[in-house]
Each structure stands twice: as C-alpha cells, then as structure tokens.
Structure 1
Amino acid sequence: MNLTLLTFPALYCATLLMLTGNGLFFSFIGLRLTGDGVGELWIGGLTAAYYAGMVGGAKFGHRMIAAVGHIRSYVACAGAATMIVLLHLLFEALWLWLVLRFITGLVMMNQYMVIESWLNEQAGNRQRGAVFAGYMVAVSLGLILGQGVLIWRPELDFKPLLIVALCFAACLLPVALTRRLHPAKLEAAPLQIGFFWRRVPQALATVFVTGLLVGSFYALAPVFITLSGLDTAQAGTFVAVAILAGLCGQWPLGWLSDRLDRARLIRACALLLCLVSVPLWGLFSLSFTWLLLFACISGLLLFSLYPLAVALANDHIEQSRRVALSAMLLATHGVGACLGPLLSGALMNLYGHNAFYMVFSLFALLLVWRVQPKKANGEFRVDDAPRQHVAMPEHPPSVQASTLDPRIEAVPGEWLIQTPPPGEPGRSTPKADATSA
C-alpha cells in the first residue's frame, strides 16, 4: 500500500470535524440571535465579519505558517478557535461577537491552508482528482453533519456551542499526531486583478454574485425558516437538504457543462434559481414538505454556480496562470460573501423575513443580466478548452484547495504560479474586449 495514502484519512477526518463545528456555529448564531430578538442586519454583519476574516486570513496564514511551521500554526489556530467559541458563552455583547467572528475567519483560513497544502503535497498528478473529490466530500459532509446536530439537539442553549468547541478541539488530534514531514513553504499567488478582469469578466461576475448568494444563505436561511414559524430542527433540516442537493447535483451539471456552452448553462441556472425562489417570497403558505422541495432545487442550482464559473474561467486562462486565477476567484467570492449577508439582512430588517428569497431572485437576475453568452466569442479560449468540469466544495475555502484541481498539473509542493519571463507566451496582457468570458 502506498504510505502516502495513509495521510489522507487523518486530514479528511480533521476537515470533517472542523466543518461540522463551523457549519453548526453558522446556524446556531443566526438561530440564537433570532430567538433573542436581534435584527437580521446584525446577524448578516456577523457572517460578513467572518468572511472578511477569511479574506484577510490568507496573508495572515502565509506569514504564520512561514514563521512557526504547519503543525504549530494549525494547533495554535485550532486552540484559538476553541477559545473563541467558549468566549461566546461568557460574553453576549454583539460588538464583541463581531470581533470574535472576524478572528474566527482569520484562524479558520489558516487551518484550511495547512490541510489543503498538505493534501496538495502528498497528491501526485495521477491522484489529484481522487484526493480533491475526497476533500470535497469531507467539506460537504461536515457542513451537513453540523446541521444534523441541530436536528438532534434543537435546544438553543449552551450545549450546541460546547459541541462546536469539542469539534474544533478534536480536529487538532489527527494533525498533531501525524508523523509525516511538513509540506513545503507556502507562497502567495498574485491576484493580477486587471489581467483577469479583462480576460474573464463574466466568470468573475458569476463568482461575485455566487458569493453574495452563498454568504446570505449560510447567514440567514436558518433565520428565514424560524421566522416562518418553524422550529430549530426544521431549520437545520432545510439547510442540510440544500447542501446535500448542491453536492449531489454537481455531477449531472458537470456532465452538461462539458457538453454545452458554459455561459448559457450559468445563465440558465441563474434564471431557474430566480424562478424557484418566487414561491418562497411568502405570497402564499407552504407546508414544510414543499419548503424542503424548494430547498433541494435551489440548493442544487446555487451550489453549482461556483464550479461552473471556475470551469468557464479555466477555459480562457493558460496553464501557467491557473493558480493565480484560483486566488482571484476566491478573493472575489470572499468579497461577495462579505457583502451578501449585509445587503440581505438590511432588506429583511426593512421588509420582513420574506424579503430573503426576494433578494435571492434579485441577485440571480443580476447574474442573468451580466452573463451574456453572445459576448463570449472564444477569442481567449486556450488550446485545451473546454477544460473538464470538476465538482467543487459548496464552501470554497482557500487557494490551496483549488490547486488540488486535477486540471492544474502542479508539481507536488509547489503552489506559487511561475510567472513567465518577459517576452514569453502568457506574459503579455491582451487588450480589453467586451467579448471576454
């Protein structure tokens, strides 16, 4: 047996525990504050603070890992995350919770980077697809199990927070006890904002709007369900069904993505998401069974938009720039995830909880308007396009996860994009063109 593969179960287990705690934490905060009568704007702001911490955590994580190493930085951040959860039990000031959520985003990004860089180093090019698929399943299953805890223990007292703390503490063990050598030193991939905006504006717009939608969903979907008169267990079930549908739906949509025009497929998914959200506007009463059905369909469409946008972008970017592309896509997604909960929370405060899915329809219509298939004339398509569609986690964490993508033929241990010297192909920047992807 290849000894390298023995490392993966430990890292997958750490990922599963970490995402179980994080998924439970997201829903618990929204439900707890809703029960206490706190407005949706504050709830959205707490999620926005978390994603802001994630965006800033990339720089923080690189510096910390370079200073003390992978295992020490992971252990320190997992310990800090556990302490932060317990501080929520001691203090209830919302401004302090805002700070704590930002710090949680910082330290969680560090943990993602350690696990993902380790997987990337241990995976050869032939294993990359299987390793990436295992990681994606661990992320999705962890988020679903987090909602399962709310179904099992729907009481919104101190116990769910203790379970979150236990998960964050338990995810230390697989990494701390490993005998494997540290991965190579991490280096940050450049964003190259101007180049990518000229080359793949429609893909970046899709990723940004997806961030708006995903950030809003994780922050306020449980709040929407409870304000609709349902209980905590039903809120957890609603979110879990949407995430599970998003996971299962990526393979059939991926099959379509490899055979149909991707810009048209993105536009069709956005239009369907807009229409599916209409029955959830509160115009008429729906049973919980119907709510679950719409959660399933909307989750399938919502969580497929990000991998479709990644596939569209990769069709128009050379191999040498694809790690930098991943950094740009994830930064764009993070900015959208910061703004989405704030916008949705503000509108729910003004117009009531039914405005939540009205905002979904609005964001989806924005995507329908922005993605214009006729403007993607293929001028910048690379020679090996269309690239094979790859299913991706519903909650894309960091650049290192994208480097596991089997479409990126990386050398194990290398994550920094190698920028070609002046004069070589890939160095020149094409002039802006309205027909970009």
Structure 2
Amino acid sequence: MTSQEASAPAPAHLLSRGAVILTAMMFGLTYSLSAALIALDLAGRGISDAVIGANAAMHAVGVLATALVLPRLVASVGPRRLILTALGLAALTLMAFPLTPAIWLWFPLRFVLGAASESLFVLSETWINSLSTEQTRARAMAAYTAALSIGFALGPLILSLVGAQGILPYAVGAGMAVAAALFVASPKVEAPVFEAPSHSNPMHYLRLAPLAMSATVLNAAIEAAGLSFLALYAINLGWAEQEAARLMSCMMLGAIVLQLPIGWLGDKMNRRHLVIA
C-alpha cells in the first residue's frame, strides 16, 4: 500500500479516484469531440481531406511538444494546478474554434488543444497509478481506460444529439471541461502527489518499455484515423451526419465493455503475454 493510500481518509480517497476518472473522461471527450467535430466542420466549409488531415496532425504535434516539457512543468507548477490549467485551456480553445473565421488559425488552436489533452492524459494516468497498489493496478488501469473510452464515446454521441453545426457542440464540450475543473478544484479532493521522475527524456522510456510504447502508438494511430475520418467516410457513403456520429460511438463499445475483463486478466497472468495476445 502506498503512503498516500495509508494516510488518506476513505471519502477523500474516493473523491480523488472520482477526480481521476472525470479527468480521464474529459481527455477522451475533448479528443473525440474535437476530432470528429472539427473534421465535419471543415468538410462542411468545403475544405479538402488533405487540409483536414494536416489539421488533425497538429493535435499530435501538440502532444509531442508537450511530452518533452511536461515533467518540468509538473515540477514547477504542481499537478493539480496543471490539470486545472489544461481543463481551462481546453474549454477556451474549444470555444475559440467557431469564433475564429480564418481557417489557418485553426492549426495553432489544434496544437494548443493537443497540448492540453496530452497534459490531461499523462497527469490522470500518473494520478491513478499513485492511488493504486501492485495488486490492484491492472484493475485500476482498466477502470481508468474504461473512463477514457466512455469519454471517447461521449464525443460522437454529443454530435449525434446536437449536430456539428454552429457554436453549440463546442460550447457543450467547453462546459463539461469547466465542470470537471470545478470538481478537481474542490478542497475535498486531495491533490495528487507524484514522485520526481529520474529521467525527463521520453526516449529513455521508449528504450525501457518498447512493447508498451509501440502498443500505445498503434492504438493512438487507429483512434486518430477512426475519429477524424470514419464519420466523413460514412457521410460520403450517403449516411446522415447524426448516424455517422453514432457509428464512432459504436467503435468505442468494445473498448468500454472489454476493459475490466482485460484488467482482470492483467492481474492474473503475464502482462507482456497479454499485450502480445
């Protein structure tokens, strides 16, 4: 048991887990909502698929740039303050898209959104690890990943309900980010305590765990392609916009349903063999 688990009262510990889950869901929601919404919005403005793909790539550029400086940011700013900053930045950036008529400005906005999303992803995953023991880690990570998947599914679901036109879908995403920030900022939620990393260079961890990192890259590539282009592909086949948005939610159904069984297997068998299988 970690020192944080031993000293934290049960209600505070549960609230901390709730804050982690909510932060993870907001990462999934921010990413899935923005990927599908921006792609549909740009397509509706007559923008080519090549430009839509280039704009989506700016999200990844923001992720990579943030990964290089995130350990130093956490050390200097603190994890809770950085999570709140990322949630606030995500809300402001989402609202900026429909209010910015110049499409070229959507590229730096997408970069900023990628940076905010990366911060939420890394900090929430580190937070759930700090709340877990070795015996419960796989199940905790399964619950965490299920929350991510629910967030991924909520983005397209929101689009199917409110549509991809106008400011409303952006405002819904921004409002949910603000609500998550208010929950994380609650004094009843204990601030996460992270150990200082021994290495700040991401390449060190790539050499340390190449299988895990490769699986993450493959997963990210599949999700990015699906969320950015699956709806456009369905629309080109004659599907209605709302039906195309629901299709992306269905894509995440397997991830939501299978996370806890996979987590249980991860606690019972060799995890490297499980990843390979």
TM-score of the alignment, normalized to the shorter chain, above 0.5? yes
34 and 160 in structure 1: CA distance in 2 versus 1, 3 angstrom threshold: same
Q: Given residue 28 of structure 1, which amino acid in structure 2 is its aligned partner?
A: L
Residues 15 and 192 of structure 1, relative CA distance in 2, 3 Å threshold: closer
Q: Which residue of 2 aligns with 1:162?
A: 171
Choose from 52, 71, 78 the match for 2:87. Answer: 78
User: Among 192, 204, 219, which residue is 1:182 paired with?
Assistant: 192
The structural deviation recorded for 1:204 is 7.2
Task: Render the CA deviation track for 1:218-245: whole Å, top value 9, x for unaligned.
Answer: 2111111122222221111111111113
CA root-mean-square deviation: 3.1
| Higher relative contact order (Cα pairs below 8 Å, separated by 6+ residues) | 2
Which residue of 47, 69, 72 corresponds with 1:38?
A: 47
| Alignment check: 8 A CA contact 1:22 1:164 kept | no
Answer whether contact 2:139 2:260 (CA < 8 A) is retained.
no
| Whole-Å separation in 1 of the counterparts to 2:155 and 2:101 | 22
Contact kept, 8 Å, 2:143 with 2:259, in 1: the verdict is no
Secondary structure of the residue aligned to 2:47 is coil
Contact 2:84 2:181 in 1 (8 A): yes
> Displacement of 1:52 after TM fit?
1.5
- Specify the SS of the correspondent of 1:38: coil
- State which of 161, 166, 181 in structure 2 corresponds to 1:152: 161
- State whether structure 2 residue 31 is matched by structure 1 residue 22: yes
Partner of residue 53, structure 1 = 62
TM-score by length of 2: 0.81
Distance (whole Å) between structure 2 residues aligned to residue 84 and residue 390 of structure 1:
35
**Paired residue for 2:6?**
none
Q: State the distance in 2 between where 1:16 and 1:74 align.
A: 13
Question: Are 2:251 and 1:242 aligned?
Answer: yes
Q: 2:274 aligns with which of 378, 386, 389?
A: 389
Deviations 1:324-375 (A, max 9, x none): xxxxxxxxxxxxxxxxxxxxxxxxxxxxxxxxxxxxxxxxxxxxxxxxxxxx
**Aligned position for 1:374:** none
Structure 1 segments unaligned to the other structure (5+ residues)? 259-310, 312-383, 392-437
Q: Matches of 1:238 and 1:132 in 2, distance apart? A: 26
Mapped to 2, the partners of 1:43 and 1:208 lie a distance apart of 21
Deviation at 1:46, TM superposition (A): 1.4
Closer, same or farther: CA 186–38 of 1 in aligned 2, 3 Å: farther
**Please, which of 182, 196, 212 is the counterpart of residue 173 of structure 1?**
182
Q: Specify every segment of 5 or more residues in structure 2 that has no aligned partner in the other structure, as ranges.
A: 1-8
Cα distance in 2 between the residues matched to 1:32 and 1:386: 41
Q: CA deviation at 1:213?
A: 3.4
SS of aligned partner of 1:61 = helix
How far does residue 193 in structure 1 lie from its aligned partner after superposition? 8.5
1:53·1:103 contact (CA, 8 Å) conserved in 2?
A: yes
Instruction: Verify the 8 A CA contact 1:17 1:170 in the aligned structure 2.
Output: no
Task: Choose the corresponding residue for 1:142, options 116, 137, 151.
Answer: 151
Report SS of the residue matched to 1:90: coil
CA contact (8 A) 2:68 2:201 kept: no
The structure 2 residue matched to 1:191, chosen from 203, 215, 226, is 203
User: Matches of 1:194 and 1:71 in 2, distance apart?
Assistant: 26
Q: CA deviation at 1:191?
A: 2.0
Deviation for aligned residue 1:53: 0.9
Partner SS, residue 10 of structure 1: helix
With over 3 angstroms needed to count, the CA separation of the structure-2 counterparts of 1:72 and 1:42, relative to structure 1, is: same
What TM-score does the superposition give when structure 1 sets the normalisation length? 0.53
CA distance in 1, matches of 2:208, 2:230: 32
In 1: Cα distance, 2:94 partner to 2:163 partner: 18
Alpha-carbon deviation of 1:49? 0.7
> Which shifted more, 80-89 or 13-22?
13-22
Q: Distance in 1 between matches of 2:144 and 2:69?
A: 23
Alignment correspondent of 2:96: 87
* CA distance in 1: counterparts of 2:10 and 2:201, whole angstroms: 30
- 1:238-387 pair list within 5 angstroms: 238-248=247-257, 387=272
User: Please, which of 213, 225, 237 is the counterpart of residue 234 of structure 2?
Assistant: 225
Listed one character per residue, the Cα deviations across residues 99-142 of structure 1 (whole Å, up to 9, x for unaligned) are 11111111221122222222111212222122111101110011
1:389 partner letter? L
One-letter code of the match for 1:145? Answer: L
Is the CA contact (8 Å cut-off) linking 1:11 and 1:174 kept in structure 2? no
Instruction: Name which one, 1 or 2, has greater alpha-carbon Rg.
Output: 1
Aligned to 2:129: 120
1:23 Cα deviation after fit: 1.6
Relative to structure 1, the CA distance from residue 172 to residue 6 in structure 2 (aligned partners, 3 Å threshold; closer, same or farther) is closer
The DSSP-based 3-state class of the residue aligned with 1:125 is: coil
